[in-house]
Amino acid sequence: MLAIDGLTVRFGGLTALEDVSLHAADGEVLGLIGPNGSGKTTLINALTGVYPATGRVRFRGQDLLDLPPERIVRLGLVRTFQNLRVFRRMTVLENVLAAQNGMTGIGFADLIGGRRRDAARRERAHELVERVGLGGDADRLAGTLPLASQRRLELARALVRDPALLLLDEPSGGMTPAETREMTGLIARLACPGRTVMVVEHKMALITGLCTRLAVLNFGRLIAEGAPAEVLRRPAVVEAYLGTEAPVDA
């Protein structure tokens, strides 16, 4: 599904990612962890065309590095954002409708208030709003939602495009433990079945609850990869990320 070979990202004299090679199989849930500044979001930005990079990235055999973000998303690779990117002055439903822009010729005006209304796509948007638990807020301005609900909205916007590969950048960022458990269950039910998922997250409860394999970045380099239980016990990972006294299920 995804093959990353020798991926390097530089900003002037700063190397944010260096020679990272990583693969994700069809249907796999891959966790990407590491301390702050290790390059996790930089990797997602490189995969989605936000940052220029060198090396090679192939998605379903298609080279991605020379493609703009709008081409990449139309291939079936979709992401959420660590820092929320909801349209604050649009309603919840309008946010999900807007995420369908460009799908098989549908334009923004057609989705939000233009001449044509695609009933099937509106029905799909309503369905996802309901499934992420925001049915009662469909007509509410997104900017007035609490953070946990905005995270759910981000997930709905990503899923409405039915991606083959979904990149989740800290989907439980800022959430309480109870909200994190709810988001973990939501991702497991809605996002993981039938697609490949890469999850960037600091919360080990979410990572160990979802991921079949882990990759660990530190200072822009890949330092470990493998089954979660094995990777989280490696001394290099404990030292770099978890802390010498941190329990695996923290």
d(CA 183, CA 80): 14
Tokens (6 digits) for 61: 């055999």
Handedness of CA 162, 167, 171, 173 (dihedral sign): negative
Query: How many other CB atoms sit within 10 Å of the CB of residue 102?
Result: 15
Buried b or exposed e, range 211-225, using 16+ CB within 10 angstroms: bebbbbbbebebbbb
Mean pLDDT computed over every residue of the chain: 89
What pLDDT does 245 receive?
44
What pLDDT does 101 receive?
81
Q: Give tens-digit pLDDT for 146-178.
A: 999 999 999 999 999 999 999 999 999 999 999
Please compute the mean of the pLDDT values over residues 117-144 and round it to a whole number: 90
Band of pLDDT at residue 119, cut at 50, 70 and 90: confident
Give the containing element (helix H, strand E) for 69. Answer: helix 69-75
Q: Give tens-digit pLDDT for 10-60.
A: 998 899 999 999 999 999 999 999 988 899 999 999 999 999 999 999 999
Residues of the chain above pLDDT 90, percent: 73
Q: What domains are defined for the chain?
A: 2-86+145-242 (3.40.50.300), 89-144 (no CATH)
* C-beta separation of 239 from 227 below 8 A: no
* C-beta separation of 221 from 187 below 8 A: no
Band of pLDDT at residue 238, cut at 50, 70 and 90: confident
Q: Give tens-digit pLDDT for 180-206.
A: 999 999 999 999 998 999 999 988 889
Classify residue 198 as exposed, middle or buried by CB count within 10 Å of its CB (0-12, 13-18, 19+).
buried
Give the containing element (helix H, strand E) for 17. Answer: strand 14-24
CB neighbours of 238 closer than 8 A, spacing ≥ 6? 232, 244, 246
Residues of the chain above pLDDT 70, percent: 89
